[in-house]
Structure 1
Amino acid sequence: MNQPLPFPQRSSAAPPATPALQGLPLLRLGFRPFYLGAALLACVSVPLWIAAFLGLVQLQLAIPPLLWHAHEMLFGFAVGVIVGFLLTAVKAWTGLPTPRGATLGALALLWLAARLAAFVAPYWMYAALDMLLLPVVALALLRVLVQARNKRNIPLISLLLAMAVANGVFHLSAMGVLQVPATSALYAELALVLMVISVIAGRVVPMFTKNVTPGLAMNIPRRFELSLLAVTAVALLLWVCSAPAALVAAASAAAAVMHAVRLALWKPWVTLRRPILWILHASYAWMPVGFALLAAAQLGWLPTSLAVHALAVGVVGGLIIGMLTRTARGHTGRPLQASRAEVLAYALVMAAAVLRVLVPAVHPQWYAGALHGAACLWAAAFAIYVVIYTPWLMRTRLDGKDG
């Protein structure tokens, strides 16, 4: 005779963890290990480079320290953040899982191994480890996007593969295999990072701004957006390919104007009371400044390095510190409101850009002091991030959800 099933009894024991929450929190989503690693690299490598530049330490490297510094900032720091962001974003865009657990840990260790190999391994091993990450991540993300039929974001994969090519050219140049200046590969990588930023910022910055400003209207024609991306790509391509200076200057000036118009259309003045948002607008403001300086450099008015660092420190560094905080807060279940320490980190990165770019432009004789000061401000900003976010990135979300 069948007996009725008893009602479930309450148990004092905690319910078992769901499968999604098993494993180390640090390896549950791509932003966790890569954001932490990139921030650590930012606050350690820049002071190390400045110490080498000032003759305070001797770096045992197979390539000139200047090339190592530029490479690590682009292919170590920026690529690490981009990989962490895309591993996280593609999951949100598609609803399908991206690498996590042991697979994510292997990717993070590959990134770290390349950073360390620059000091302790033969150059060919450093190059091999460094060149492997981007193609592997690109293929992993492409599989997810194809499975989800998410055609809109597949072009981002081509940018990752183009970055992998630029990285390969850099290493082959450094080893003497290709007779191409290593700086050209670095400029190409900066150009690709700026293109990724131009695409992603065009989606998220106006969306974030409208989400927190009830009734705010933004009418940004799609034709303008496509034209801006085209002009930006042409200007950067001409610069990387060392086209005639007048042509590069004209294209760069046009890009500067279009990015300034885009920023105005985003209405940045409505964000002044929201630091976690104004840092994105303030960083993007360096985009027209950087292109204007690039145009001036082509005319021989200023050193090209000022334009490069306006784009690298102001745009890339500023947007990265803004996105590192905003996305990490959101994906750890915390409110999207920056603390005073985080606001200080934002201000330090913006001040570092001013010291590195504008002070030498106005007073070239202050170059060494400005360089030293900018490095200290930059390192302090990312050290703040490491101190605040390391515990958060190594724990489960506050709301108990996966991610």
Structure 2
Amino acid sequence: MASLLSPRAPLWCCPFRPFFLLTALHGIVVMAVWLAWLSGWMPLPDMPGGPFVWHAHEMLFGFAAASIAGFLLTALTEFTGSAALPPRPVQRLVWLWLGGRVAYLLSGSVGIAWAAALDMGFMLSLVAHSFGPLWRAPERRHMSFFYALVALTGAHLGFYISLLLGHEALPWLRLSIGLLMILVIVALSRISMALFNEVMGKYGGLTADYVARPPRRNLAMFTIGLSAVATFAQAGPGVPGWLACAAAAAILNLLNDWHVGRALWQRWVLIPYLLYWCMALGYGVIGVGHLSEQPWQSAGEHLLLVAALGLAILVVMSIAGRVHAGHALDGRLWLPAAVLLLILAAISRAGASLPFLPLATWGLSPLTLAAVLWIGAWLLYAAYAWRVLTGPRPDLGQFCDERMPLPSD
């Protein structure tokens, strides 16, 4: 362990390494704690907002935020040509992130201010590290990452201000779900054209000209943003429902970019395609639930978070976490298995709120089954990514250099 903490260890040679590893470990540990609380194996803690708000916050600003940090700080090097962030600043960011997790867990005893200070310090540091390289890049083509990150930081600040004032903080988390969905679309549109076309030719022996068309992408992000704002503002009857349905339709329209023939069945193309289906389904469930006055909001949100966001994080970490470490993409069966576990976890969790969706849960509650499936997916990732993320590069590349060798390399 001491060698892993050394700034000279391979773990710290690029920001994605510690943050991708922490993403998986956090997804396992926090869900295990949540399962223990739900099952009565551990007493529910006393904390501002209650354990449910803690759980939702940790999935958004613990699990997802760690993956965003790893992806963005690594992508800056590729997108802008800037130097990789040195180990010491990366370690400071990691300690801020870890401190926020511990402080929130102990907030019932020490107050929420410590968690707010550490978490906002982490988010603002990401904003500060991102602005310069993105602003100085030619034509500032990737500033959308910065705008999305600033919006997410603002929502996080609103969440903590609400907790500090004793107000309802959950609407800020629901707003953050929409912002994360927008960030997923922004990220996939950037990496897909440069990466997936190369993957289809090099790994699948297939040629297909995938193009992420801005009108479809922008329409999807616009409708998702409107839906998130309407839900946050608690707009009049029907407005959130119709806007969520509009978001679902816009995402389905976005899928037309992905109809690239046989190449669609390659795993590196199929996984993002499936996550967009899950995203559309999540917004569809939310919209129909609002319009029919059914309590389906939670079911739709878990389809968005467990399936769509979970698959997005898994596929990005499985690609970027290997090619930026000098490894070939992994063609083993663990990745399809992890994808299946995440989709089943989302269906099981949604089934807890959808009475018309009968499920075989093998004697477990739908919530327990969903948690077990989720933990299984991230255990698989952690087991197969550990050596890649903590070990030295197998090639002559340095820091975050991208290399995509064939599996036989």
Tell whether the structures are fold-level matches, with TM greater than 0.5: yes
Query: 1:370 is matched with which residue: 366, 370, 376?
Result: 366
Residue 230 of structure 2 corresponds to: 238
Query: 2:315 is matched with which residue: 302, 305, 322?
Result: 322
1:307-355 CA deviation, whole Å, 9 max, x = no partner? 1101111110111111111111111111123312222112111111121
Residue 277 of structure 1 corresponds to: 269
The offset of 1:150, in angstroms, is: 5.3
Alignment of 1:43 onto 2:28: yes
Residue 403 of structure 2 corresponds to: none
In the alignment, structure 1 segments of 5+ residues that lack a partner are 1-21
Residues 148 and 38 of structure 1, relative CA distance in 2, 3 Å threshold: same
The offset of 1:76, in angstroms, is: 0.5
Query: 1:130 is matched with which residue: 106, 119, 127?
Result: 119
Distance in 1 of aligned mates of 2:120 and 2:147: 16
Residue 31 of structure 1 corresponds to: 16
Query: 1:2-401 to 2 correspondence within 5 Å?
Result: 23-63=8-48, 64-120=50-106, 122-123=110-111, 124-149=113-138, 151-176=140-165, 179=167, 181-205=168-192, 207-211=194-198, 212-213=200-201, 214-218=206-210, 221-267=213-259, 270-271=262-263, 273-299=265-291, 300-358=293-351, 360-363=353-356, 369-401=365-397
Residue 6 of structure 1 corresponds to: none
Distance in 2 of aligned mates of 1:165 and 1:296: 29
Query: What is the DSSP-based 3-state SS (H/G/I as helix, E as strand, rest coil) of the residue aligned with 1:339?
Result: coil
The offset of 1:202, in angstroms, is: 2.6
Q: TM-score, normalised by structure 2?
A: 0.86
Distance in 1 of aligned mates of 2:67 and 2:385: 15
Equivalent AA in structure 1 for residue 130 of structure 2: L
Query: What is the DSSP-based 3-state SS (H/G/I as helix, E as strand, rest coil) of the residue aligned with 2:365?
Result: helix
1:343-401 CA deviation, whole Å, 9 max, x = no partner? 21121111111211246424578797111111001001111111221221112221131
The offset of 1:219, in angstroms, is: 6.1
Distance in 1 of aligned mates of 2:195 and 2:173: 31
1:34-66 CA deviation, whole Å, 9 max, x = no partner? 111111000111121122123221143423111
Equivalent AA in structure 2 for residue 114 of structure 1: G
Distance in 1 of aligned mates of 2:270 and 2:185: 17
Distance in 2 of aligned mates of 1:92 and 1:219: 19
The offset of 1:240, in angstroms, is: 2.0
The offset of 1:86, in angstroms, is: 0.2
Distance in 2 of aligned mates of 1:321 and 1:60: 30
Equivalent AA in structure 2 for residue 164 of structure 1: T
Residue 4 of structure 1 corresponds to: none
Residues 155 and 262 of structure 1, relative CA distance in 2, 3 Å threshold: closer
Q: TM-score, normalised by structure 1?
A: 0.88
In the alignment, structure 2 segments of 5+ residues that lack a partner are 1-6, 400-409
Equivalent AA in structure 2 for residue 226 of structure 1: N
1:129-158 CA deviation, whole Å, 9 max, x = no partner? 111111111111112223334512223222
Matched-pair contact (CA < 8 Å) for 2:224–2:247: yes
Distance in 1 of aligned mates of 2:228 and 2:299: 16
Residues 219 and 49 of structure 1, relative CA distance in 2, 3 Å threshold: closer
Matched-pair contact (CA < 8 Å) for 1:307–1:357: yes
Higher alpha-carbon deviation: 250-259 or 116-125: 116-125
- In the alignment of these two chains, the number of paired residues is 380
Query: What is the DSSP-based 3-state SS (H/G/I as helix, E as strand, rest coil) of the residue aligned with 1:175?
Result: helix
Backbone CA RMSD of aligned residues: 2.2
* Greater gyration radius: 1
Distance in 1 of aligned mates of 2:92 and 2:397: 23
Distance in 2 of aligned mates of 1:146 and 1:334: 31
Residue 5 of structure 1 corresponds to: none
Higher alpha-carbon deviation: 145-154 or 280-289: 145-154
Residue 17 of structure 1 corresponds to: none
Equivalent AA in structure 2 for residue 357 of structure 1: A
Distance in 2 of aligned mates of 1:326 and 1:57: 37
Equivalent AA in structure 2 for residue 343 of structure 1: P
Distance in 2 of aligned mates of 1:219 and 1:144: 25
Distance in 2 of aligned mates of 1:351 and 1:271: 25
Matched-pair contact (CA < 8 Å) for 1:276–1:336: no
Matched-pair contact (CA < 8 Å) for 1:173–1:182: yes
Matched-pair contact (CA < 8 Å) for 2:196–2:268: no
Distance in 2 of aligned mates of 1:365 and 1:61: 34
Percent of residue pairs bearing the same amino acid type: 25
